Structure 1
Amino acid sequence: MKVITLGPEGTFSHEMATLIGADEIVLVPTIGRVFAEVVRTGTPGLVPLENSEAGGVTSTLDCLMQFPVMITLESYLPIHHCLAGTKGQISRIYAHPQSHEQCSRVIEDLNVPVIHTESNAASAIAQKDDLGSAAIISERLAARHKIPLIRTNIENNACNITRFVQILPGDSESSRAQHTRSENTGGSPEKCSMIIDPDENRAGLLYDLLTPFKRDGVNLTRIESRPSKRSMGTYVFFLDIQCDGRWCEAAAELQQLAPVKLLGCYRRWHQTSEGV
């Protein structure tokens, strides 16, 4: 299976793509490029959606709003970071914004400037060219680039996990085939994701939007707001629901209350799965 994901080699995205069984991995420099290439080529993409410590990955959330894609699978990866670099006095740290947030306590204790990068792999590359600096990266990346380890397991939470999702063009034959294959081999979907984009702002609006799920016995596993980018004070809501209770009826009723972009209903990849 061919997959497009965030590179260069050694990123957690690259590791996740390897774990789910991709035999051809196309690495691109930004999450936005992953989405663009998925839409252009029809090839599946793999992107980080949220982290248990730092929350939603904003670039992924914004791209889900922007691009015509759907989610066809989710997977989870335990995340461990290390501080790697020149031993001795550290004058600055290279880190991806998500890695920065996941390791904020150690960074605050070091009290040195942080330079944000586009990926953990980019942090490793930048550190190699900057004597006296350090990078927050994985042990795998440190070994790949021969960067000495200063401290390991520096994440704020020992149970640090990132959730990844596989995406395909929303109107493609391949995305429909993915759903058919899931239904034929794995049964009904486990989770549905959607974006609610209210066209009004009034007291009780969010309560009204969520009422169908309460009434029909549907568990909301995640809700997150992002700016609509239309004007100050207007927001869209990202929703994940479990496919239990009368979830189909609740989702249909929601679409009568506000504009909804259905991102897909899908299953979770497990280590024992044969491919995806």
Structure 2
Amino acid sequence: MRVAFLGPAGTYGEQAAQQLIALEGLADAELVPQLGIRAVVQALAQGDCDAAVVPVENSVEGGVTTCLDALWEHPDLAVARALVLPVRHALVGSGPIAGISEVLSHPQALAQCSQWLADNLPKALQLPTSSTADAARMVAGSRFRAAIASRQAAEEHGLTVLAYPVNDVAGNCTRFLLLRRGIRAHTGTLASLAFSLHSNQPGALLEALGCFARRGLNMSRIESRPSKREMGEYIFFVDLELPDAPEVLEGALGDLAPLCEHLALFGAYPISHQGAG
């Protein structure tokens, strides 16, 4: 069992992958780091790996658009399980904090710490990287560069924790998905789906969302992404909290389908929450 994740070692993606592997009871799983979220999905879609772990949503910065686009583009992939992981960022480096002139991290992490950086390192240049752990690797040995990453990443790369925590919101957390190839399940705690409408008419989206309301299904998330075909055309990503009765979801999808140009259920799945450490 080969499981792709956003590498290198020390990322929050690796932490999530380890926990999702344990929750799924996947014996002898091998973690395979990838450079970039799209590469994680491609490793699974192309058959190089048997599963993939990707971030889909952050409680502060919202949806991870690369993941949403990848799910829409790969109908052969299914969501098998989700994990909500608390994210506690640290400022890590090799030199004193007073000498830091550049801060490196993944764009999501930089955004999640923007106020702290403005207050504590207002003159430091912020440089995006492919992952938080890659940022930690890149600043190792530098006296003027620091990274926003996990304390685990600091340990992996021999760095000092200069400040912790540095995220602006104490309850910062990210939802990770475990993806597999195969059939998309219709039973679980949560269902993720996406749809595009036949036309952009007044009340069209309201009519579509009414399919969920009439069945008593609560939306825990809705987000739109451009279709990339023409201006003003969107794909709507929705998460639904599911009851025990699977026929409720089936009925809602049956009601919704005639209204849609495209409708994709990514899967229904269990979701776990890790307590803050």
Could you state the TM-score of these two structures normalised by the residue count of structure 1? 0.88
2:99/2:143 contact within 8 Å kept: no
Match of 2:78 in 1: 70
Q: Secondary structure at the match of 2:167?
A: coil
CA distance in 2, matches of 1:270, 1:64: 22
Amino acid in the other structure paired with 2:148: I
Query: How far does residue 17 in structure 1 lie from its aligned partner after superposition?
Result: 1.1
Indicate the larger mover: 262-271 or 144-153. Answer: 262-271
2:104/2:145 contact within 8 Å kept: yes
Amino acid in the other structure paired with 2:194: I
Match of 2:5 in 1: 5
Match of 1:146 in 2: 158
- The reply on whether 1:125 has 2:124 as its aligned counterpart is no
Q: Which digits, 9 at most, give the CA deviation of each residue in 1:150-196, with x for residues without a partner? A: 11011111111110111122xx3xx46xx5xxx9xxxx411111111
Alignment partner of 2:173 out of 161, 165, 177? 161
Match of 1:225 in 2: 224
1:86-125 paired onto structure 2 within 5 Å = 86-87=95-96, 88-109=98-119, 110-111=121-122, 112-125=124-137
Amino acid in the other structure paired with 1:233: G
Query: How far does residue 129 in structure 1 lie from its aligned partner after superposition?
Result: 5.2
Indicate the larger mover: 98-107 or 237-246. Answer: 237-246
- The reply on whether 1:16 has 2:16 as its aligned counterpart is yes
The count of corresponding residues between Structure 1 and Structure 2 is 258
Query: How far does residue 37 in structure 1 lie from its aligned partner after superposition?
Result: 1.2
Amino acid in the other structure paired with 2:251: E
- Stretches of 4+ moved more than 4 A in 1? none
CA distance in 2, matches of 1:37, 1:2: 10
Match of 1:55 in 2: 62
CA distance in 1, matches of 2:198, 2:52: 31
Query: How far does residue 270 in structure 1 lie from its aligned partner after superposition?
Result: 6.3
CA distance in 1, matches of 2:203, 2:109: 36
Q: Secondary structure at the match of 1:125?
A: helix
- The reply on whether 1:29 has 2:35 as its aligned counterpart is yes
1:207-246 paired onto structure 2 within 5 Å = 207-244=206-243, 246=248
Q: CA RMSD in A?
A: 1.8
Alignment partner of 1:43 out of 44, 50, 57? 50
Match of 1:250 in 2: 252
Amino acid in the other structure paired with 1:40: Q
Q: Secondary structure at the match of 1:197?
A: strand
Q: Secondary structure at the match of 2:46?
A: helix
Match of 1:136 in 2: 148
Gaps (5+ residues) in structure 2? none
CA distance in 2, matches of 1:58, 1:130: 32
CA distance in 2, matches of 1:252, 1:71: 21
Q: Which digits, 9 at most, give the CA deviation of each residue in 1:47-104, with x for residues without a partner? A: 0110111111111111112222221111111110011122132111101011011111
Q: Which digits, 9 at most, give the CA deviation of each residue in 1:137-159, with x for residues without a partner? A: 11111111111111101111111
Assess, with a 3 A threshold, how the Cα gap between structure 1 residues 8 and 62 changes in structure 2: closer, same or farther: same
Amino acid in the other structure paired with 1:216: R
Amino acid in the other structure paired with 1:255: A
Amino acid in the other structure paired with 1:248: E
